[in-house]
Structures are given as C-alpha cells and as structure tokens.
C-alpha cells in the first residue's frame, strides 16, 4: 500500500484504519472481532490507525493499543485526540453512554482545552493504549471552544511536539472554516477533515485545501462516505447524510454520481475512497472498519482502478469540483 509523508517525517498509508467502531459505535463489537479487524488491516498493508478517548469512553484506545502492542513500533503511525477528558460519571449502575457508543456510562466526557487538560489527555491516552508514544495528536471537534483552542489548546500541543512527547499535531473536525484558521495562525502539521472533502461535496476547496497546500499541512480525509450515503453502489431512499436523513437534493446528487459510476463499471464506494486522494494536500483517507470483512472490502475499494475519463465525466456534468 502506498504512503504519503508529512513534513514531520511520518509516513501515512493512503488508507487509514478508523477505530471508532472498536469503541462499540452504535452497537457492541466483540473483543475478538475488534482484534481480527486490526489484524486484517495489518495484513492488508494499512499502517495508519486513528482512535480517540471519545470512542467508547476509552474502549477504542484500549482495544487498538492491545492489538498493536506486539507490532514493530516504527512500522505504524498512531493518532489519537485531545480536548475531552474521561472522568467518573457517578451514573447509576447499568446506565449506558448517551454519546452514540454501546458502553456502560461509568465515565463521562469533560471538555478541558487548558494546557494542563491537554497534557493530561495525552498522558491518559498513553496509559490506555499501552504504547510508548503517540505519533499524531488532534484537537477533537473544538467547534464551540474556538477562543480557548487558539489561546491554549493548540499552543499546548505545539509545546508537546517540541518536547518530543508527540510527533505531529493538528485538529480533527467536521467543518473547514475553523481548521483553516488553525493553519493560518498556528504551526500545525495536519488536519483531519471529516465529510467536507468527499465525492459528494468539495466546499473545503474554498478555504482549507489551498492554504494547507501552500503551508505544507497534510489533510487526512475522513467520513468519505458522508455518514453512509456513499457506502453502497446505489444510495437507499432512507440513506443518512451528516448523521441524519439525507435531503432530497443531496440524495439526487448521490444518485447522479452513481449513474456515472455504473456507466464506467465502477461502484460508488470505490469512487468515494479514491476521490480525496486526487488532491495533492491529502495524505490519507481514513475509513471506519469494524470487522475483518469490512477491512477486506475497503482495501479492495482502495485498490480499484479508476480511469481518468471517469473523473472528467463527473466534472463535465457538474457533479464534482476536481482540483
């Protein structure tokens, strides 16, 4: 599998393993199933793995760390996220998490973007992972905390990078405007952009991507299926988009793209995985994977051969803005 190198020197495989499902996203995942998914990813050549404390109240970090612990440490890149600490919840026994993960609510997420909070988050992630270092630390979804993110959190991450505690730093968000300001105002290495540069929408071409390219900041494209809308060859009538029902115009656009895919004998998910990697600022596409079978199918999508004429056809019909 091909890799692309950050200015920090870390080489990310073009396909990355998103580990939210290892934290029981939406439904339980067994320990053996989670381990088999990571093993399959390794066998497929994937060497970039992304997790977060938010995913299953630490469960994803624990499972991913255990699955990678015996792998040669210099052969993979690991990212996790900061900004929300996990603290005792005080919830009655049997209460389940209300953050989208099927785990007991013995802990709760507490926002802390202070310097001490960022450093504590990294320390606690290292403990859960059981690994010797974190290669990339992202500030996680600070949408409602912009002032503190600029004033404290990003400088704290830069300090940790300068100390060698983490290898590279950035932010992971579902919007492009605030990450653009991080790139403009701070010395960040990369941005994980979820859902805003995909086969379906390319709004980040107006702000983040040109600036990232100019500054040498890598972009990791996540949520490339736009919450499932592009995950099947033909979108279902009740498909979701941005974690809710897909609007009629969005569904029509996805179907129009699927029409072109069928004309070229391609599948919509194949094109969805391939599209972000066409931009020179994008260093990896991270896809959430729960099982070994999902890993195998995603790796097949990554390896699909897509002719240049297909992209030109989409552009001519006004279905994509191709950079």
| Domain membership of residue 103 as a residue range | 3-228+269-317
Chain segment 151-169, per-residue pLDDT in tens: 999 999 999 999 999 999 9
Q: How many domains does the chain have?
A: 1
Task: Specify if 172 maps to a domain.
Answer: yes
Tell me, what's the pLDDT at 243? 83
Tell me, what's the pLDDT at 50? 99
Domain with 32 in it: what CATH number? 3.20.20.100
323 pLDDT more than 70: no
Task: Specify if 224 maps to a domain.
Answer: yes
| Token representation of residue 34 | 């989670």
The single residue listed with the structure tokens 């097949």 is 300
Beta bridge partners of 287: 17
Measured over the CA atoms of residue 223, residue 224, residue 225 and residue 226, the dihedral's sign is: positive
CA distance 264 to 313: 10
- Is residue 102 within 8 A of residue 109, CB to CB? The reply is no
Task: Specify if 233 maps to a domain.
Answer: no
Task: Specify if 59 maps to a domain.
Answer: yes
pLDDT, the chain, mean: 97
The closest of 322, 316, 211 to 274, measured between CA atoms, is: 322
**Choice among 26, 48, 55, 302 that is catalytic:** 55
Chain segment 184-196, per-residue pLDDT in tens: 999 999 999 999 9
Chain segment 204-250, per-residue pLDDT in tens: 999 999 999 999 999 999 999 999 999 999 998 899 898 889 999 99
Average pLDDT over every residue of 120-144 = 98
| Token representation of residue 98 | 């209300």
Task: Specify if 242 maps to a domain.
Answer: no
- Is residue 182 within 8 A of residue 154, CB to CB? The reply is yes
Task: Specify if 243 maps to a domain.
Answer: no
Confidence of residue 322 (pLDDT cuts 50, 70, 90): confident
DSSP string, 40-65: HHHHTT--EEE--TTTTTTHHHHHHH
Task: Specify if 97 maps to a domain.
Answer: yes
Measured over the CA atoms of residue 253, residue 258, residue 263 and residue 266, the dihedral's sign is: positive
Chain segment 20-64, per-residue pLDDT in tens: 999 999 999 999 999 999 999 999 999 999 999 999 999 999 999
CA distance 165 to 119: 10
Task: Specify if 263 maps to a domain.
Answer: no
Instruction: Examine the residue annotation and report whether 26 is marked as an active-site residue of this protein.
Output: no
């Amino acid at each position: 599998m091909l890799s692309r190198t950050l200015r920090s020197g870390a080489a990310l495989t073009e396909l990355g393993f998103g580990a939210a499902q290892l934290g029981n996203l939406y439904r339980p995942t067994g320990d053996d199933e989670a381990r088999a998914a990571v093993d399959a990813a390794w066998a497929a050549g994937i060497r970039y793995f992304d997790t977060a404390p938010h995913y299953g109240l630490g469960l994803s970090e624990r499972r991913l760390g255990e699955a990678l612990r015996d792998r040669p440490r210099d052969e993979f890149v690991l990212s996790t996220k900061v900004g929300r600490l996990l603290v005792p919840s005080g919830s009655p026994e049997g209460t389940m998490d209300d953050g989208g993960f099927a785990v007991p609510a013995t802990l709760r997420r507490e926002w802390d973007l202070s310097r001490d909070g960022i450093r504590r988050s990294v320390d606690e992630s290292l403990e859960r992972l059981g690994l010797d270092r974190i290669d990339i630390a992202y500030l996680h979804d600070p949408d409602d905390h912009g002032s503190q993110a600029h004033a404290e959190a990003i400088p704290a991450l830069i300090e940790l990078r300068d100390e060698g505690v983490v290898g590279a730093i950035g932010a992971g968000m579902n919007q492009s405007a605030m990450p653009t300001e991080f790139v403009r105002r701070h010395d960040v290495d990369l941005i994980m952009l979820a859902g805003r540069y995909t086969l379906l929408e390319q709004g980040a071409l107006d702000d983040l991507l040109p600036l990232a390219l100019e500054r040498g900041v890598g972009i990791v494209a996540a949520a490339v299926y736009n919450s499932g809308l592009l995950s099947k060859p033909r979108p279902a009538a009740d498909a979701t988009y941005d974690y809710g029902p897909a609007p009629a115009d969005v569904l029509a656009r996805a179907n129009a793209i699927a029409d072109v895919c069928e004309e070229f004998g391609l599948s919509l998910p194949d094109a969805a995985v391939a599209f972000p990697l066409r931009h020179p600022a994008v260093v990896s596409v991270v896809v959430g994977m729960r099982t070994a079978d999902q890993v195998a199918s995603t790796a097949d999508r990554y390896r699909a051969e897509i002719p240049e004429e297909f992209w030109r056809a989409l552009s001519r019909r006004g279905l994509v803005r191709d950079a």
